[in-house]
Amino acid sequence: MSGLDAQQHNLIQHVCMRPGMYVSPGSLENVFAYLTALDTATGCLTGFREWLLPRFEDGNNLAWPAVVQMLLESESVADTDSIARLGKLLDEFYAFTRENAGSRRCLTRVYLRYHAWLLSRSWYGPDWPGYIPPYDGAPFPESD
């Protein structure tokens, strides 16, 4: 994961500042669709969902647009303000990826923080599908 590069970040900021120039109508849902397509093409938002989730008590079963919408609904803001807030969240994610430049370092930090968040949830335990226990410091096995 390279995270958002400067060109992608610039494009996303323009989309969030003037959504009607990129999608019609310039709604939050259409901005989500545009950014999802950009991510599908480039992978620029890899880890964004896992970076967002530790801010919430719930939402692990949601895609990143639904997690963002959950955050925005809790703030009770208008659609244009929601798009601007989305831009600010993506600014924070961009800053995080720049601080942790290097694909392994950045993804590792995102997913370790996400795993710590999962471990703090009452519903996440050994009976949960895909459960990963806390790392005990033992060497990783060569194969599963």
- pLDDT greater than 60 at residue 17: yes
Inside any domain, residue 132: no
Q: Which tokens go with 69?
A: 């919408």
d(CA 137, CA 144): 17
- pLDDT greater than 50 at residue 144: no
Inside any domain, residue 143: no
Peptide bond into 25 cis (omega under 30): yes
d(CA 51, CA 10): 20
Inside any domain, residue 1: no
For 54, 74, 97, the CA distances from 45, given in Å and listed in that order, are: 16, 23, 10
Q: What is the CA radius of gyration of the chain?
A: 17
Inside any domain, residue 139: no
Inside any domain, residue 95: yes
DSSP state of 144: -
- Give the tens place of pLDDT for each residue, 54-84: 988 788 999 999 999 888 876 666 778 899 9
Inside any domain, residue 136: no
Which is higher by pLDDT, 8 or 33? 33
Inside any domain, residue 130: no
d(CA 79, CA 101): 32
- Give the tens place of pLDDT for each residue, 121-143: 999 999 998 899 988 776 665 54
**Average per-residue pLDDT for the chain:** 86
* Cβ neighbours around 110 below 10 Å, total: 25
Inside any domain, residue 128: no
Per the structure, how many domains does the chain have? Answer: 1
d(CA 134, CA 35): 33
Which contiguous run of DSSP H or E holds residue 103?
A: helix 103-119
Q: Which domain holds residue 61?
A: 6-119
For 16, 90, 94, the CA distances from 21, given in Å and listed in that order, are: 10, 19, 22
Which is higher by pLDDT, 55 or 31? 31
